[in-house]
Structure 1
Amino acid sequence: MSQAVTLKHLRYLVAVADTLHFGRAADAANISQPSLSAQIQQLEEALGTQLVERTKRRVMLTPIGTEVAERARRILAEVRDLADSVQGVAAPLAGDLRLGVIPTVGPYLLPRVLPSLRRTYPDLRLYLREDQTGRLVERLKGGDLDTLMLAMPVAEPSFEAEPLFDETFVVALPAGHRLAARNQVSESDLADEQVLLLEDGHCFRDQALAVCGHARARDRESFAATSLDTLREMVASRIGITLLPALSVTGASAPNGSVEIRPFAPPCPSRRIALVWRREAARSREFRELAQFLRDNLPLGAQPVG
């Protein structure tokens, strides 16, 4: 080995693995593209093997490059946990914290709790990333995120979860729909209805599909939304009905009064939202403190767990 492998080398390799593009990797790593290429070449020389295949059209990792990139993610995560453990001893919930959150929770919960979180923990620098569950899970496993706010269950044995709240589902109906005349809707009332859902990758799609399957409702396969707001607009256009999580409609107004919201009759379908982190994370105590803070400061529409 001609020279030592540094953490900087590993960070640059992970950036290339994430983007498969030297220009975007250089931007993400805040370095020039020629410097990035030189650093990757240094790493390859240090390890004595080719890690990246470069052509005019694309960038690919070699099989050994893929293995090294995965090990690099774990090493970088361990280094971050080491720094976090020292920081956590000094002051809980201070410094940088990278929180991932699913799109069906983030816009409806975080604006209501972040102001009080900042007042309570003024030294906390919170960085938020909103994404679908699968990608967030991979980022947490790789050490790019510290903790996640997800809908349960999350089938990952290396994670620890702290339940936060239960959230019921409601039905969004076009104004004048036959079910809008009722104060409550039962799952059986959805039989044979055309139900609009989110696109694949959203966990709320799977949860809504479970309700639809039980109620013999039909997914409108020709349409899949990218957000809950889009679903609501499509209901307003009388394309179908949909299910929404309660927090997304609490205090919200329907587009032009053209959407009516009805709760389910008990037992209401619901989901459980939890805070999730790597089981070996050095800041586990802080994450539990954050979970308790969130439970103590939930808005209407969320029922705290525990």
Structure 2
Amino acid sequence: MPNTQPQLSIKQLKYFAAVAHTLNFRRAAHQLGISQPTLTNQILKLEEGLQLTLFERSRNGTMLSADGRELLNHAEQILNTINEFQSVARELSQGPKTTFKLGIPPTLGPYLLPFVLPQLHHLYDKLKFYVRESAPNELHAGLYKGDYDLIISPLAGLPSDFVVEPLFTEPLKLVLSSEHPLSENVFVEPDSLKGLRILTLEDKHHFHHQVLDVCNELGAELQRDYEGTSLDTLRQMVVMGMGAAFLPGLYVHSEMHNPEALKVCEIKNKPILRQHALAWRNTSPSRVFFRELADRFRRIIQARLNHVVEVYNP
């Protein structure tokens, strides 16, 4: 015989969840914007369709039955999935019309975003970013907790359970005081770095650990007693002759225009690179759009900064 059991509706599940959380039909009806008789009638139809009693009703109030408690979590999972489906469908049909929380390291954000965000705004006029800067480990923790919707982070060290889209590779440049003997060379021999005093940022930055690895490999001396708090601080310490520094290519491009007191060099036959990626939670309802956004990032960076960085080609 065909199954004559009435079909459930999303509306009934929504009504069931509302009553389950308030344990009060009048209050739930007010929250839903419907009349109490309408709500009561729909819950009764749901119970008849399921052939279960979802609520215990008495003069003392309303309580979830054992069956109701068992089904509530499943109902909420279905409702969450429907909400996510509708959110993705809305973005696909209308484009993004919201504000996303974007996290980015302070060694990258000020020197990348001014080239990218205006172009994104032109493409998506309703899209906005609330940008916060933080060290990579703090960005990862914040993305887990929901403090960020997506982050730009060094590719190395990104947790494997994030969705990751590589964006580009950025060189690190050796910056010396113009009075340093090595500053006469555009390309510095690797052996020349032995014993060279290198300044860097505090160890909470991924950048610090990359510079430390370079120093260990080439025999340079990392100056832990004089760690900078920003790239500008490092540059000023180099000007004062306190040591040399490795500075990101985008920083050099953005902030150092023919400085008389400094010389930008490279290590001969040994490029030093850092990779950046866009990352988000794999459960994000905006994950379809975020993939599109990663492609937009790459296209804009390729068009505006291809002489500074190498864009990832998926």
TM-score above 0.5: yes
- How many residues align? The count is 232
- Give the match for residue 129 of structure 2: 126
Identity across matched positions, percent: 31
- Give the match for residue 272 of structure 1: 275
1:231 aligns with 2:231: no
2:163 partner SS: strand
**What does the per-residue CA deviation read over 1:135-165, in whole Å, with 9 as the maximum and x for residues that have no partner?**
1111100112111001111341221110000
- Give the match for residue 263 of structure 2: 260
1:302 aligns with 2:309: yes
How many Å apart are 1:256 and its aligned residue?
6.0
* Alignment root-mean-square deviation, CA: 2.3
- Give the match for residue 170 of structure 2: 167
- Give the match for residue 39 of structure 2: none
**What does the per-residue CA deviation read over 1:213-244, in whole Å, with 9 as the maximum and x for residues that have no partner?**
11011111211111111100100011000001
Unpaired runs of at least 5, structure 2: 1-19, 23-76
d(CA) in 2 for partners of 1:251, 1:216: 30
- Give the match for residue 142 of structure 2: 139
d(CA) in 1 for partners of 2:110, 2:225: 26
- Give the match for residue 198 of structure 1: 201
**What does the per-residue CA deviation read over 1:22-56, in whole Å, with 9 as the maximum and x for residues that have no partner?**
xxxxxxxxxxxxxxxxxxxxxxxxxxxxxxxxxxx
2:215 to 212, 217, 233: 212
d(CA) in 1 for partners of 2:191, 2:97: 49
d(CA) in 1 for partners of 2:284, 2:212: 34
Distance 1:257 1:164, change over 3 A: same
d(CA) in 2 for partners of 1:224, 1:134: 18
What is the identity, as a one-letter code, of the residue corresponding to 1:135? E
d(CA) in 2 for partners of 1:251, 1:200: 24
How many Å apart are 1:84 and its aligned residue?
4.8
Unpaired runs of at least 5, structure 1: 6-74
1:109 aligns with 2:112: yes
Contact 2:167 2:276 in 1 (8 A): yes
Q: Which runs of 4+ in 1 moved over 6 A?
A: none
2:203 partner SS: coil
What is the identity, as a one-letter code, of the residue corresponding to 2:230? S
1:128 partner SS: strand
How many Å apart are 1:172 and its aligned residue?
0.6
**Larger Rg: 1 or 2?**
2
Distance 1:222 1:252, change over 3 A: same
**What does the per-residue CA deviation read over 1:150-195, in whole Å, with 9 as the maximum and x for residues that have no partner?**
1111341221110000011110101121111112124332110110
1:164 partner SS: strand
TM-score, normalising length from structure 1?
0.70
What is the identity, as a one-letter code, of the residue corresponding to 1:213? N
- Give the match for residue 154 of structure 2: 151
Distance 1:165 1:217, change over 3 A: same
d(CA) in 2 for partners of 1:186, 1:97: 45
TM-score, normalising length from structure 2?
0.69
1:88 to 86, 91, 102: 91
